């Protein structure tokens, strides 16, 4: 068979999905159930990154870390508990049980949908055509009337001298939980780095975070970021901001990280949390006529179409915000467009949640962004300790903040730093989608005592 993928053995399908992440797998199952001929190729991570090495296993371990913290503070609510500590085999079993169960569910759904689910590695050999090296041996060539690239991303490991030699952990490899580090040095103070930093501090590790930015979470308002930084330090995480790593030396178990200012940080292990890189290098997208940017992400327009006809991309690899819920919305957009619609990604109201303790949940504009855009805004702030529910649970750390347009009274954005904030956020997001003025939340009859009741207080707390 020639390199162009033509000849005997070509298999034609209505929809070919390369990569089984959230957007792609949902589209594939949906199309297959509707009677279309669908093939989905996946290298081996059944269910996608979220289920296997990201959201689901990480949040499973966050649950364990939070429970440890609650048990250690049990005396505050009148309960005596013997010493609580992390048990590595039990942690691993908990995480693998959650992941394994969800992988099995996904696999059954793939088969039941009627799609042709193919385990193997694909590369493009022509427009809309891939050659697949199968996991169990052999090769197949498939061509789709429409093709979707959904190969996701992997952790980015920067080219720091000496780093590779100490076998650094990534957000994926650390989940294997071969041991609990004595002292974990985290390079990168973004969302992933902070979740793991606090998690392993709860498990008993010493933890040091090194971040190049002048402060943590530079995209957030300073008051919110500083509050979270303080809580992390309360929980034993050492934080150095405005620093650059010059080199790493030593070996696993005894690592030294040298900073450009001459300081050295010693630890047992290094976790690299410096972002993610697209899985496109070995796809040979050029053969398909698909353009990528200088970082390797697939170039798409706001309809998720690539530079090649009838070829689309969804999820992280398309440069979409790296959240599973965004990949799911990419599916909705692409489903509509494949049916002849004109749905677009512009103007999406995307929420996000940082699952530290307390959680940081945000949607819309920050105060900094709104003022930079010249908007006339009102700002409301509320300490979480003012919410009755927080007092009953004795989880009173946090700060809620809302930004409102002064004239229209519409909510422009909120940052909710506090317990259960990721659940409360949806209430505000719904009000924003509906275009409701803030008094609708201020005056709503919300059940007492709940964390959501704090919205009554928040939207009554404007200082001007």
Just list the catalytic residues.
448
Residue 353 forms beta bridges with which residues? 361
Q: Identify whether the C-beta of residue 273 lies closer than 8 Å to the C-beta of residue 193.
A: yes
CA–CA distance, 45 with 53 (Å, rounded to integer): 9
**Best CA proximity match to 15, nearest among 107, 116, 125, 122:** 116
Q: Identify whether the C-beta of residue 23 lies closer than 8 Å to the C-beta of residue 330.
A: yes
Measured CA angle at 28 (ends 23, 31), to 5 deg: 120
CA–CA distance, 17 with 327 (Å, rounded to integer): 14
Q: Identify whether the C-beta of residue 190 lies closer than 8 Å to the C-beta of residue 220.
A: no
CA–CA distance, 95 with 79 (Å, rounded to integer): 27
State the sign of the Cα–Cα–Cα–Cα dihedral 449, 451, 453, 457.
positive
Q: Identify whether the C-beta of residue 30 lies closer than 8 Å to the C-beta of residue 112.
A: no
What are the Cα distances from residue 260, in Å, to 187, 245, 263, 319?
A: 14, 6, 7, 31
């Amino acid at each position: 068979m020639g390199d162009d993928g033509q000849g005997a053995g070509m298999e034609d399908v209505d929809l070919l999905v390369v990569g089984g992440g959230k957007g792609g797998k949902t589209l594939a199952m949906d199309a297959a159930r509707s009677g279309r001929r669908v093939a989905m190729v996946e290298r081996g991570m059944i269910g996608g990154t979220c289920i296997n090495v990201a959201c689901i296993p990480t949040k499973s371990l966050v649950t364990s870390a939070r429970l440890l913290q609650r048990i250690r503070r049990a005396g505050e609510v009148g309960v005596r508990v013997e010493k609580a500590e992390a048990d590595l085999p039990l942690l691993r079993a908990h995480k693998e049980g959650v992941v394994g169960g969800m992988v099995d569910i996904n696999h059954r759904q793939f088969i039941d949908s009627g799609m042709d689910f193919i385990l193997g590695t694909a590369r493009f050999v022509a427009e809309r055509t891939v050659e697949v090296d199968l996991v169990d041996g052999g090769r197949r060539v498939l061509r789709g009337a429409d093709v979707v690239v959904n190969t996701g991303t992997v952790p980015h490991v920067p080219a720091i001298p000496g780093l590779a030699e100490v076998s650094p952990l990534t957000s994926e490899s650390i989940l294997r939980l071969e041991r609990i580090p004595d002292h974990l040095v985290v390079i990168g103070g973004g969302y992933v780095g902070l979740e793991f930093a606090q998690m392993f501090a709860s498990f008993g590790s010493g933890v040091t975070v090194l971040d190049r930015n002048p402060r943590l979470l530079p995209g957030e308002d300073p008051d919110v970021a500083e509050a979270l930084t303080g809580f992390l330090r309360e929980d034993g995480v050492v934080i150095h901001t405005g620093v650059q790593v010059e080199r790493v030396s030593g070996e696993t178990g005894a690592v030294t990280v040298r900073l450009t200012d001459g300081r050295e940080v010693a630890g047992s292990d290094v976790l690299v949390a410096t972002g993610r890189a697209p899985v496109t290098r070995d796809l040979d997208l050029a053969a398909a006529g698909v353009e990528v940017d200088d970082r390797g992400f697939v170039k798409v327009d706001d309809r998720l179409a690539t530079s090649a006809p009838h070829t689309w991309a969804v999820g992280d690899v398309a440069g979409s915000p790296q959240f599973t819920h965004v990949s799911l919305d990419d599916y909705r957009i692409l489903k509509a467009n494949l049916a002849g619609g004109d749905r677009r990604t512009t103007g999406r109201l995307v929420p996000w949640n940082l699952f530290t303790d307390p959680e940081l949940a945000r949607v819309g504009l920050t105060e900094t962004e709104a003022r930079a855009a010249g908007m006339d805004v009102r700002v409301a702030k509320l300490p979480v300790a003012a919410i009755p529910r927080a007092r009953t649970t004795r989880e009173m750390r946090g700060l809620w903040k809302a930004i409102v347009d002064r004239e229209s009274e519409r909510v422009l954005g909120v940052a909710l730093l506090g317990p259960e904030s990721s659940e409360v956020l949806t209430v505000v997001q719904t009000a924003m989608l509906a275009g409701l003025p803030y008094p609708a939340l201020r005056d709503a009859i919300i059940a007492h005592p709940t964390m959501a009741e704090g919205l009554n207080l928040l939207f009554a707390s404007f200082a001007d």
